[in-house]
Amino acid sequence: MLRLASALASLVFCVGVGAQTAAPVEVGVRPLREIALPDRGTAPASVIAPNDSRIAAEVTARVARVHAEVGGAVKAGQLLLELDAADYRLALAQADAQVTAARARVALAEQRRQQAETLRKKQFASDDAVLELKTAVQAAEADLEVAQAQRAVAARNVEKCRIAAPFGGAVLERQAQVGAMATPGAPLMRLIDLASPEIEAQIQAIQADELPRATELTFEGQSRTYPARLLRLSPVVDPAARTRLARLAFAGPAAPAGSSGTLLWLTPGALLPPELMVKREQALGVFVAENGRARFIPVPAALEGRPFPVPLPPETAIVVQGQQGLTDGQPVNAKVEAR
């Protein structure tokens, strides 16, 4: 038994010495910065106008005149349509008369109260009579306020017969026809805001967190490339599409509103080509040459057959030739491969 144990110890020692003194394996290496692929993300995107409004009537009236046509540009506050306001002007005149009558009743009630106050001082009127006249004044004043409110509603209805542009834009559609009856809520025109549009993109949830750190954000559409910058990224994930909504602004000239295309970006990290990936003990990773030895760097996020990210400095020597037969810690003679 003692002889067997001694023989085994000698064998282990010899193997260990042999492993440490084994001739270095020739491998080819290149710096990470020379072989890294750009980590590019893409997402479908479209150009959205700040406002896309369907202008509707707020009152029932006949369309009298149309002042804007499809394709025309209008300024904020510019008159778009006029509705026949004859009935509403009559209602306003009636409300004016009611206000005048209410004011006259207030004046009469106040005059009677003052007379009663004078008579009470001479003891020709009772306190109850004076109190009753004070109440009459308050009631008359309340009636005046009601009449004034009704007058304001009538005046507002007259104003609603003149429909103006809420913002500067272009007329995209026109439903209003002269002589046709407009009803509340029925669209008369569609107006598109001409202010700077925004880019709307649906970003996959697994990519969304990298978007705020991305560089070279661009929108490709209309056979052109437009630089962009991130404005907002929704924190909510759409449960159906598993995407998050991003809004971006154009950093220079803007694509026309309504355009569709692709949003592209680069992330700060780098990707290695899938042919450099090796598998050791069920872990995927890459070999690097360090101090004359091969070091296996596992990459948990790696997927077979796809480029994979590596959190390594740009000057790291990546083994690009002979990596498949290496073991972790094996001596290597690294030779820099030509580009």
Could you read off the pLDDT of 139-192 as tens digits, one per residue? Answer: 999 999 999 999 999 999 999 999 999 999 999 999 999 999 999 999 999 999
Which residues of the chain form CATH 2.40.50.100? Answer: 51-82+167-194
Nearest residue to 179 (alpha-carbon basis) of 87, 57, 82, 67: 82
C-alpha span between 47 and 49 (Å, rounded) = 7
Domain with CATH 2.40.30.170 in the chain: 24-50+196-339
Q: Supply the DSSP symbol for 323.
A: G
Contacts with 189 (C-beta within 8 Å, 6 or more apart), sequence order: 54, 55, 68, 80, 81, 171, 173, 174, 175, 176
Looking at CATH, the fold of the domain delimited by 85-160 is given as: Helix Hairpins (1.10.287)
Give the integer Cα–Cα distance in Å for 164 and 74.
10
16, 231 Cβ separation under 8 angstroms:
no
Where are the domain boundaries for CATH 1.10.287 in the chain?
A: 85-160
**Other C-beta atoms lying within 10 Å of the C-beta of residue 209:** 12
CATH number for the 51-82+167-194 domain, one of 1.10.10.10, 2.40.50.100, 1.25.40.340, 3.20.20.70?
Answer: 2.40.50.100
Three-state DSSP state, 311: coil
Q: Which conformational region is residue 143 in: left (phi greater than 0), alpha (psi within -120 to 50 degrees), or beta?
A: alpha
Q: 30-34, 157-161, 245-249: which range is least confident on average?
A: 30-34
Model-level pTM? 0.62
Domain 24-50+196-339 CATH (choose: 2.40.30.170, 1.10.3720.10, 3.30.470.10, 3.40.50.800): 2.40.30.170
pLDDT beyond 80 at 240:
yes
- Using left for φ > 0, alpha for ψ between -120 and 50, and beta otherwise, residue 310 falls in beta
Question: 303-321 pLDDT, tens per residue?
Answer: 888 888 888 888 999 999 9
The residue ranking higher by pLDDT, 37 or 137, is 137
